Amino acid sequence: MVYEAKNYEHLLGLEGFSDQLLKNHFTLYQGYVTNTNKLAAILGSLAAAEKTGTPEYAELKRRFGWEFNGMRLHELYFENMTRGGAPLSQTSVLYEALVREFGSYENWEKEFKGLGLIRGIGWVVLYLDPAGNRLFNTWVNEHDVGHLTGGVPLLVMDVFEHAYLLDYGLKRADYVAAFMKAIDWNVVVGRFKYNPGR
């Protein structure tokens, strides 16, 4: 099976994001899809040739996590944005869970945005821990470092420079503010499966 790059051109015209920045970002994402497919094919060939014990196989296997997660995180990121944004209903189960976990929606938002301003490259992810029915704002350093095992990514914000530098320069806080206005909470709520009885 070969992964196909998804088309996110419907996001062109997104307020706070120039079309050039988005097009550059789409191209970068397509590279992750291409490299995921290439690595899967090479790893399959090495396995078929019984070369799984080689240094080449080991290094490519490590690299696969970077490329695959780069592909998936970008898909989650693009899919949780929409032109005009879509607000989170205060009567939604997710809103209630955010209030329960963080004390208020405002507390959650402050922490999430604050993580987006941490120096360095990475991702900010609102995770659901289905085993414990808990929500966590998490810093993912690189694509393959910092994920919560078993966690379900609900909201994903890219804070690598390519996500904002063209439009905002070093003003990452302005990018974070633009991202928050572009969130499609309908998509985020759709990813949320909370079981309050656990």
Rounded CA-CA distance 75/22 in Å is 13
Strand, helix or coil for residue 85: coil
Whether residue 156 contacts residue 127, with contact meaning beta carbons closer than 8 Å, is answered with: no
Helices 105-116 and 93-102: angle between axes, nearest 10 degrees: 80
The DSSP line for 159-186 is -SGGGTHHHHTT-HHHHHHHHHHHBBHH
Annotated binding residue at 144?
no
Rounded CA-CA distance 5/75 in Å is 9
Rounded CA-CA distance 83/191 in Å is 19
Annotated binding residue at 147?
no
Annotated binding residue at 74?
yes
State which amino acid sits at residue 189.
Answer: V
Binding-site sequence positions for Mn(2+): 25, 74, 158, 162
| Residues annotated in a binding site | 25, 74, 158, 162
